[in-house]
Amino acid sequence: MRCSLEKRRMEDLKRSIEEDEAQIKRYATLLGYKKRKSKNMPQVFRAEGLDYLLELCDPVKGREILAEESEQSESDIEEIDEEHLEAEEIDLNEDTSNSDADVSVKQKVRRVSFADTPQVCPQENGSGLSANESGSNHDGEKGLKRRDVQGSKEGNTDESCDIKEDIYGRLVDRKTGEVVSKGADVRQRLVDLEKGSCPNQSEERKKLEKNLRGTINRLNENTIVSSVKSVGDMFASYAHNDVKEVLFDALYKSAAVGYRLPDRILIEYALFIALLHSTVSVEISSYFVENFILRFVGVVSSPPDDKSLENISILLAEMYNFKVIKASMVKEILDRLRVEISDKLLECSKLILSYSGAVMKSRDSDVLRKYLSDVHIQLSQLAEERHQEQHVRFLVEEFMGIKNANIRKWTDAVDRTLLDHYISIFRGLTKKVEKEAELGMSVDDIEHIAERGRWWMVGSAWQPAMSANTALLSVPVQQEDTSKFDHSLLALARKAHMNTTLRRNIFCTLLSSQDEVDAFERLMRLSLKGQQEREIIHICVHCALRESSYNPFYAAVLTHFCAFHKRFRLTTQYALWDRIRELNDLQTWQRPLLAAVIADLILKKSIGITVLKVIEFGTIDPLTTRFLRRLLTNILTRASETTLVEIFGSIVSSAKHKLFSQGLQLFIDVALRKERKGVKQALLLSRIDFLDSVWHNEHF
């Protein structure tokens, strides 16, 4: 086995050398270097400073350099020893008149000063040493020192001989040929990165902290827009994690102060977070909410004596008012506050309901009623000794006095005009922005991010490695997904080439629905993300083209999805573009179905007339002409004049679609004016004349 590995290694080495030689030859040809018969170094190498490199590559020259260095080092050692010896002899000659004890002491001091580990120790009880004896002993010591130096050099040489550098510059073991790992250096580098020891990174971090803290300190109604823009610029320029960490730290420290903050400041903080959530990135708001909830839960477990818990309770309520978080998360926090009954926690619960109760009653009344019902049950079972505390008894009576979720007594105590003013500002700033939905995670999800991942962030959810228990539990789940549908429906799914579990589930859910609304709701409950979610649109189009006659059910389902979010509108448009480009591949009976689906979606304004811009009117073929004539006839004969203005007005007034508009106008004038059977020709001609007036109108 070892021989085969060695043989394979040698073959790989030879192959790599041959590849290097080929590369050297190729670049030599490109650089104009020709092979010379003379062994002397070319002048061009000396001029460019390459002669030193060639000397290093020459093994003979390398041995000469090593020999010179070793001789030089030995001569240096001899010179040092001779200097030490002369110094000792001078000291001995000067001290000959002294006593034997003095000579012994001086000699011992000299031995310690010249030798790291003296090999010969003087006899303390001796009668003294003569100069000759001292010299002989020193000679022996000098010999030991010289041998130690040589031995250490030999040891280092032996150690360095075990490692060499290959042709790629890597350190490899001379015996085995394995690459020597630099794991320690890599680990140290990772530790330095985690600690932020890089000076450039620490400077950037300090600069970021300074800018963000200044932005938070200057935050008010007049600077809210510029502050959001500034954070957006920093989020695009700096590392995302740094921006999120510093922003959360600055905002939380500004809110969780020991004294009660004015309501205006806390509402401005909530408005700032909501604008970042809607206009900059969900990453920022998600990171803030995650860490805010973790801090909140930690503070609830050991409530402080100051007003910091009250401040963050109001901030939580205001984030709900600005639709950053859902009512379910607020209820979870309220449930955490009533785990241990105390005057501090009951007061915080009252604050949250006072600041968010009015909005919650109109938006999520069921959540509010459920919480108040649970509180009544818990407080009715409260021990008698807790009622002896005056403040607790007062708060319990207030909670128990609430009937039919009527908390108007609490909400009226808060100045509602201030919140309405900032909500109007928020709506004005996000009027033309595609609003993001509320963050859907729960407190339990946040506390178990390490196990479940961030499913509410696209691309952040993950599934841990399947263990034996989860493998056993996964079988019934899969059986349940397939067994809830009829066998005939599953057979139809296989016939329609739904070859994955996901596609079969979507197909069966779609076809087993009662109507388009039921289909939309059931498909949304599948909670698909990304590519899986886009499969819904593709399967709807696929099913619409497989019917024997046109079924408007699929267009109605697509209309619901397109109205729900623009991402479905884009997916529908791309799916139809693919079908239009593949008209030649469709069956003859499928083309009228495709024309009918597109016409329905255009008339319902789910997609625009620009879905036809993939058609090249200059090189249109007869098959596409028939398809487009059928589609446009369907639209013109079914739509009113007002609807036609809405459909075609967008491309008439757009300079971007000028070429498409001209091609479409020419096609309608040329292809649709011809008389055909089964068409309301008079109505069609009147609609064409009306479109001509639209195209020639200066206002469009």
Question: What tens digit of pLDDT does each residue of 639-655 get?
Answer: 888 888 888 888 887 78
Q: What pLDDT is stored for residue 122 in this prediction? A: 40
Q: What is the mean pLDDT of the chain?
A: 77
Same domain, 277 and 323: yes
Give a yes or no: residue 222 inside a domain.
Answer: no
pLDDT in tens, 207-248: 999 999 999 999 999 999 999 999 999 998 888 889 999 999
Task: Note the Cα 619 to chain centre separation in Å.
Answer: 45
Which pLDDT score is estimated for 540? 92
Q: Are residues 628 and 525 in the same domain?
A: no
Per the CB < 8 A criterion, the answer to whether 436 and 277 are in contact is yes
The better pLDDT of the pair 677, 240 is held by 240
Say if CB 410 and CB 354 are below 8 A apart: yes
C-alpha distances in angstroms, 69 versus 75, 143, 152, 162, 363?
10, 21, 16, 21, 86
By C-alpha distance, which of 411, 420, 331, 318 is closest to 371? Answer: 331
Residues 285, 427, single domain; the answer is yes
Give the structural domain span for 580: 513-607
Provide mean pLDDT across the span 288-316.
91
Quick one: 27 and 133 in the same domain? no
Whether 115 and 263 share a structural domain: no
CATH of the domain at 280: 1.25.40.180
601 and 665 belong to one structural domain? no
The answer to which of 171-185, 468-482, 541-555 has the lowest mean pLDDT is 468-482
Query: Is 74 a residue whose pLDDT tops 70?
Result: no
pLDDT at 615: 87
The confidence score (pLDDT) of residue 305 equals 86
What is residue 224's predicted lDDT score, i.e. its pLDDT? 93
Say whether both 614 and 603 belong to one domain: no
Measure the CA angle with vertex 660, ends 656 and 665; round to 5°. Answer: 130
CA dihedral 211, 215, 218, 221 (to 10 degrees): 160
The answer to whether residues 639 and 604 touch, using CB atoms and an 8 Å cutoff, is: no
pLDDT at 1: 59
What pLDDT was estimated at residue 558?
Answer: 93
**Cβ 204 vs Cβ 238: under 8 Å:** yes
Q: Is the pLDDT of residue 315 over 90?
A: yes
Give the tokens for residue 12: 């790989």
208 within some domain: no
Rounded average pLDDT over 580-609: 90
Rounded CA gap, 193 and 669, in Å?
68
Q: Which two tokens stand for residue 226?
A: 């510029």
In a domain, 616, yes or no: yes
149, HSE (Cβ side, Cα atoms, 13 Å): 15
CA distances from 268 to 232, 310, 370, 423, 693 (A): 17, 16, 30, 10, 52
Tell me which amino acid residue 339 is.
Answer: V
Q: Which two tokens stand for residue 539?
A: 């399967």
Residue that finishes a domain, picked among 573, 607, 641? 607
Poorest-pLDDT segment among 394-403, 410-419, 481-490, 570-579: 481-490
Residue 118 scores a pLDDT above 90: no
Rounded Cα–Cα distance for residues 351 and 345 (Å): 10
Instruction: Report the SS3 class of residue 126.
Output: coil
Examine the domain organization and report whether 635 and 586 are in the same domain: no
Both 616 and 591 in a single domain?
no
Helices 641-652 and 590-603, packing angle to 10 deg: 90
Q: Pick the last residue of a domain from 136, 157, 178.
A: 157
Query: What is d(CA 215, CA 247) in angstroms, rounded to the nearest whole number?
Result: 10
State the total domains in the chain. 5
Residue 478 lies in a domain: no
Alpha carbon separation from 212 to 230, 234, 281 (Å, rounded): 9, 9, 16
Tell me, yes or no, whether 332 and 348 share the same domain: yes
Quickly state the pLDDT bin for 53 (edges 50, 70, 90). low
Can you give the pLDDT at residue 594?
92
Mean pLDDT of 147-160: 43
For residue 358, pLDDT beyond 80: yes
User: How far is it, in rounded angstroms, from Cα 131 to Cα 631?
Assistant: 121
The verdict on 597 and 651 lying in the same domain is no
Interval 505-521 mean pLDDT = 89
What is the number of residues in the chain?
700
Q: Identify whether residues 626 and 584 lie together within a single domain.
A: no
Find tokens 């007002």 and name the residue: 642
Residue 68 pLDDT greater than 70, yes or no: no
Q: Which helix (H) or strand (E) covers residue 164, if one does? A: strand 163-165
Q: How far is CA 68 from CA 45, 72, 159, 168, in A?
A: 25, 6, 21, 28
71: confidence class by pLDDT, cuts 50, 70, 90: low
Whether 81 maps to a domain, the answer reads: yes
- As given in the structure block, the two tokens for residue 56 are 């290093």
- Residue 251, pLDDT score: 94
Lowest mean pLDDT among 40-54, 542-556, 677-691: 40-54
Within a domain: 652 = yes
Pairwise pLDDT comparison (124 vs 400), residue with the higher score = 400
User: Residue 91 pLDDT more than 80?
Assistant: no
Reported pTM:
0.45
Q: Is residue 178 part of a domain?
A: no
Query: Domain boundary at 452, 475, 505, which?
Result: 452
Q: How confident is the model at residue 470 (pLDDT cuts 50, 70, 90)?
A: very low
Residue 415 is assigned to a structural domain of this protein: yes
Whether the per-residue pLDDT at 684 is higher than 70: the answer is yes
619: pLDDT strictly greater than 50: yes
As a whole number of angstroms, the distance between CA 357 and CA 359 comes to 6
